[in-house]
Amino acid sequence: MSGEIRDVIVIGSGPAGYTAALYTARADLKPLVFEGSVTAGGALMNTTEVENFPGFPEGIVGPDLMDGMRAQAARFGAELVTDDVVAVNLTGRIKTVTDTSGTAHRARTVIVTTGSQHRKLNLDREDELSGRGVSYCATCDGFFFRERDIVVVGGGDTAMEEATFLTRFARSVTVIHRRSTLRASQAMQNRAFADEKISFAFDSEITEIKQESNALSGLVLRNVLSGETRELAATGLFVAIGHDPRTELFTGQLDLDDEGYLKVQAPSTRTNIPGVFGAGDVVDHTYRQAITAAGSGCAAALDAERYLAALT
């Protein structure tokens, strides 16, 4: 057990975590930040150009943006640790957060910003071509796919929304879905069916990603009913089969919704446990953007500050 009782521990180091760290550090609360061991810096460490984070008119590459956020939090005294949290006890007035060495760190408040993981197809070349034709976010990357033939995988609301959004840029959009009917709401389906640029391949799955000159060049589709395969030329693949929020650590302590996202008392970032706050993609299944994650990280820091002020 570490001796000190901190004011704030932040779990996570994406835009939400670093922003919460920056604000609490500037409020002189000396936050301890667990950045995670594998994905310190969060989801944007795996991307190239970010063109929609305000303040960078020429765009900025994801890792540079995150390095800047990290340095800014550190400048004001945030203590940053590249380690995972493996256990938490959040129920009492003093919370404990345990790292991989087994040391329990104590704090009056905890800000949870552990993000969410987009689901993958788990195909060969998928990781390699991420950012080179394979994407998991139409809002983020659609702009790069002007006049291209694009494929969207999925049958839910997100897939329909992404397909419809992508028609602004693409020459054609083909929606691939494993079943014969969509899961999306009727309104979303109607919009997609009415769009001349969108076509559908039902009862189909992708079995292979084709590559040419280090970029996506096409896909092999298999009809799940007949077993027949065919090739489809495409230079963009948007995977929209859902996200898994990283909340396993908190199960049984913090209230989660049906999809496993952390529940907060919106518009605040308060969870069901006093002194514990949630921000970023671990809470948000609607917007999922760096700027919205940063904004809610700021809100969580301000909520934590107010909570601490009320304790004294």
Residue 70 CB, nearest distance to ligand FAD (Å)? Answer: 10
Q: Are 280 and 16 in contact (CB under 8 A)?
A: yes
Residue tagged 């004001």 (tokens): 76
Instruction: Record the tokens describing residue 192, joined without a space.
Output: 């997609």
Residue 247 in the binding site for ligand FAD (CB under 6 A): no
The partner residues of 215 in beta bridges, in order of sequence, read 212
Residue 155 in the binding site for ligand FAD (CB under 6 A): no
Q: Which range binds ligand FAD by CB under 6 A, 10-18, 146-154, 219-227, 266-274?
A: 10-18
Give the H/E segment covering residue 306.
Answer: helix 290-311
141, 281, 284, 303: which one is catalytic? 141
Q: Which is nearer to ligand FAD, 136 or 169 (CB)?
A: 136
User: How many binding residues for ligand FAD (CB under 6 A)?
Assistant: 40
Residue 20 in the binding site for ligand FAD (CB under 6 A): no
Residue 162 in the binding site for ligand FAD (CB under 6 A): no
141 noted as active-site residue: yes
E strands present in 56-115:
60-61, 79-81, 85-89, 95-99, 104-112
Handedness of CA 287, 13, 33, 262 (dihedral sign): positive
**What's at 201, amino acid-wise?**
A
SS3 content of the chain, % helix, strand, coil (to 5): 25, 30, 45
Give the H/E segment covering residue 218.
Answer: strand 215-223
Q: Of the candidates 36, 142, 154, 236, which one interacts with ligand FAD according to CB under 6 A?
A: 36
Residue 17 CB, nearest distance to ligand FAD (Å)? Answer: 5
Q: Which is nearer to ligand FAD, 47 or 96 (CB)?
A: 47
Who's near 42: CB < 8 A, 6+ residues apart?
12, 13, 14, 15, 16, 17, 66, 115
140 noted as active-site residue: yes
Q: Of the candidates 8, 9, 10, 14, which one interacts with ligand FAD according to CB under 6 A?
A: 14
Radius of gyration of the chain measured on its C-alpha atoms: 21
Q: Which is nearer to ligand FAD, 32 or 173 (CB)?
A: 32
Site string (257-286) toward ligand FAD, x via CB under 6 A = -----------------------xxx----
Any idea which residues carry the catalytic annotation? Answer: 137, 140-141
- Site of interaction with ligand FAD (CB under 6 A): 11-17, 34-36, 39-44, 46-47, 50, 52-53, 84-85, 113-115, 118, 136-137, 140, 246, 249, 280-282, 288-291, 293
